[in-house]
Amino acid sequence: MHKYSTLWAEYSKGKQTYAQLAKKYNCSKRTIQRKIDLHKVLIPKKEPRKVIILMDTTYWGRSFGVMLFKDSYTRENLLKYDVKSETNALYLQGVNKLKKRGFEVLAIVCDGRRGLFNLFGDIPIQMCQFHQAVIIRRYITKKPKLPASIELKELIAMMKMTDKESFEGGLELWFIKWKSLLNERTSNPETGKSYYTHKRLRSAYRSLKTNLKWLFTWYDYMELNIPNTTNAIDGHFSDLKNKLRNHNGLSEERKRKFIDEFLKA
């Protein structure tokens, strides 16, 4: 039988299941499982340096998630937390822990969690433009029918390809054109009360206006080469989940070990 580390490599990186390894080495699944359990995951030391932190959280079910802090420059995973829920306090704790370890945080890229952007003092914050686009799509749907919503969708599609001034100017022109529509109200004949007719479109616009300050930080600090999305970390999560699908039915402890090996953080 091969050493534990070799078995583990075949299992975790070679996509071999317990059953496939048992057949290969002519032994029981239980024997393979026991030997793989003996392998210890070694996390390499992270050298302090200047970093741009990408941070996000992904979940397996409702009660188990991983919060990851990744360096945009080197693509190295710096720190992870196993979490039950995503909180601003944990994001702040992670950034502070990296700073205490000697990392100089030049900028942070994250999604649009309420209250998160104001926690990090003078560190430049870039909101993930992809997450902003998802928020807008949630309000106006993938295939909007209202002309104002169609135009807003087209503007959002331009966000990743344009500069700050052009996008801000485009949004201002959109608002001027559709201001009366946004302020349109409908009365309830039974109660006599009125409400905004296009409430979801108003919410989409308000989200953009609120987050605009952080959507083009990459443009304000171009010398830092800040990415405008967390796609590098999101793609990493997708790859991890695809690999875990080859090993369905793992206990939470074994799943954590697999994740530790994959992320090395």
What pLDDT, in 10s, does the model give residues 105-141?
999 999 988 899 999 999 999 999 999 999 999 999 9
The residue to which tokens 């583990």 are assigned:
8
Q: How far apart are CA 38 and CA 3, in angstroms?
A: 10
Helix axis angle, 252-263 relative to 4-12, nearest 10°?
90
The gap from C-alpha 180 to its chain's centroid, in whole angstroms, comes to 36
Q: How far apart are CA 135 and CA 138, in angstroms?
A: 5
What pLDDT score was predicted for residue 30? 86
Reported as a single tens digit per residue, the pLDDT across 64-105 is: 899 999 999 999 999 999 999 999 999 999 999 999 999 999
What pLDDT score was predicted for residue 11? 81
How far CA 226 is from CA of 44, 47, 80, 194, in Å, comes to 25, 20, 21, 45
Residue 226, pLDDT above cutoff 70: yes
Mean pLDDT of 23-48: 86
Domain 46-128+229-265: assigned CATH number: 3.30.420.10
Better-scored residue on pLDDT, 173 or 36: 173
What pLDDT score was predicted for residue 154? 97
Q: How far apart are CA 7 and CA 1, in angstroms?
A: 9
Q: What is the mean pLDDT of the chain?
A: 92
First vs last Cα of the chain: how many Å apart?
29
Residue spans of the domains in the chain: they are 1-40, 46-128+229-265, 131-214
Confidence of residue 3 (pLDDT cuts 50, 70, 90): low
Residue 1, pLDDT above cutoff 60: no
Which pair of structure tokens corresponds to residue 134? 């998802």
| Nearest one of 121, 109, 74, 71 to 221, comparing CA atoms | 109
Reported as a single tens digit per residue, the pLDDT across 175-221 is: 999 999 999 999 988 888 999 999 999 999 999 999 999 999 999 99
What is the pTM assigned to this prediction?
0.88
Confidence of residue 160 (pLDDT cuts 50, 70, 90): very high
In the chain, how long is the greatest CA-to-CA distance? 80
Reported as a single tens digit per residue, the pLDDT across 51-62 is: 999 999 999 888
